[in-house]
């Protein structure tokens, strides 16, 4: 069931698109909405003057209440189950490679949080991702269980090809299609049936160029993109177009992109971000980090104020490294003054 808070900040046009039957409610309540398609529901109801409310005997609170009842009754009548987004992901402990219980009780990750995953190569970071992607229910080698929004997840996350829980951005990315950047984004946009296609395309290319070391345009063939440009395009595309609520990035430090901007972009689009990394700067940018040992979760560390202070110093070092990299690319000689903190 939905409540008023679920729709109060949606535009009238988006509400009508989501619930086409709402037009009959407007008509029966003599609500004129034709010239207010881009107005939010709250703004629309707040636009009534005191004179109009008194003259037409309008009870705004009653209309809001009746609207929610009407929508829920129609959804029930039509047999439509209201889609619930992924607001949280919970990992319940299983066991490591030796059969020992993992050293945590429960880990809940909320939307717009960043979680880093650290541990030696071969320690089990990929297995953790696989458990999340397949919404494990104590039926994988680790015996872990995954909950979505605190409950046993719907089977669609495991078996539906159109409902992918996890979008993966691998370390190595090579395009083989003979398409321009525009054509590539268009294909994805049309598969998602986005309405404002051109606006979305421009938004993605702009975001990608904010991440890439060297800019490119919409007419650039994707097969000619560098590794960093390819990763920048895929991160922007995933953040803006992908319906997957969880994103896993493998070693973004090696991507040749502005990794901080990449993380901020993904978080701003309300994704849950899990990031396998060996970079201390990225590890400390996360809200928490999962430490993997011997195939199991050894501990979960929350980034505290002390580590945030270390992050400030790492940012300064990173700024120096970025400056030196830019000077080298420009063909300039380096000076000792360039490495002063």
Which pLDDT does position 253 carry in this prediction? 59
Tell me what pLDDT residue 77 has.
75
pLDDT value, residue 166: 78
- Cβ proximity of 97 and 124 under 8 Å: yes
Tokens for 75? Answer: 């959804």
User: What ranges in 79-166 are assigned the alpha helix state H?
Assistant: 125-133, 156-159
Q: Where are the domains of the chain?
A: 4-78, 88-303
What is residue 298's three-state secondary structure?
strand
Amino acid 72: pLDDT: 87
- pLDDT at position 276: 85
Digit-coded pLDDT (tens) for 281-336? 889 989 999 999 999 999 999 999 999 999 999 888 888 887 888 788 889 988 88
In CATH, the number for domain 88-303 is 3.40.50.300
Residue 309: what pLDDT?
93
Nearest to 200 by CA among 225, 208, 9: 208
Average pLDDT by stretches of 10, the chain with 341 residues? 85 85 88 83 89 85 92 78 73 96 93 90 88 90 93 72 68 71 88 81 91 87 86 87 82 66 80 87 91 95 93 87 83 81 59
pLDDT at 158: 66
- Which residues are within 8 A (CB) of 55 and not within 5 positions of it... i.e. 6 or more apart? none
- Helix residue ranges, H only, the chain: 12-18, 22-28, 41-46, 50-55, 60-78, 125-133, 156-159, 181-191, 197-211, 227-240, 259-268, 280-285, 305-329
């Amino acid at each position: 069931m939905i409540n008023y808070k679920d729709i109060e900040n949606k535009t009238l046009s988006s509400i009508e698109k989501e619930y086409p039957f709402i037009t009959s409610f407007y008509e029966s309540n003599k609500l004129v909405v034709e010239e207010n398609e881009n107005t939010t529901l709250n703004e629309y109801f707040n636009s009534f003057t005191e004179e109009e409310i008194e003259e037409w005997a309008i009870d705004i609170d009653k209309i809001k209440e009746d609207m929610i009842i009407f929508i829920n009754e129609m959804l029930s009548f039509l047999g439509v189950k209201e889609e619930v987004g992924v607001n949280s992901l919970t990992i319940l402990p299983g066991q490591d490679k030796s059969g020992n219980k993992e050293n945590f009780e429960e880990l809940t990750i909320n939307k717009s949080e960043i979680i880093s995953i650290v541990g030696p190569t071969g320690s089990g970071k990929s297995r953790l991702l696989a458990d999340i992607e397949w919404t494990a229910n104590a039926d994988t080698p680790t015996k872990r269980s995954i909950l979505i929004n605190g409950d046993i997840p719907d089977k669609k996350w495991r078996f539906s090809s159109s409902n992918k829980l996890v979008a993966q951005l691998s370390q190595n990315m090579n395009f083989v299609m003979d398409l321009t950047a525009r054509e590539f984004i268009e294909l994805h946009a049309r598969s998602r049936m986005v309405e404002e296609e051109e606006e979305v395309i421009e938004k993605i290319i702009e975001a990608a160029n904010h991440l890439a070391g060297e800019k490119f345009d919409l007419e650039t063939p994707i097969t000619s993109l560098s590794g960093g440009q390819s990763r920048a395009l895929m991160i922007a595309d995933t953040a803006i177009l992908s319906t997957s609520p969880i994103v896993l990035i493998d070693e973004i430090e090696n991507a040749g992109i502005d990794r901080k901007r990449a993380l901020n972009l993904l978080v701003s689009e309300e994704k849950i971000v899990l990031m396998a990394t060996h970079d201390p700067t990225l590890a400390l940018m996360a809200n928490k980090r999962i430490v993997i040992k011997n195939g199991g979760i050894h501990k979960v560390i929350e980034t505290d104020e002390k580590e945030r202070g270390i992050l400030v110093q790492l940012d300064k070092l990173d700024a120096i490294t970025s400056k030196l990299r830019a000077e080298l690319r420009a063909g300039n000689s380096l000076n000792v003054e360039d490495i002063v903190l």
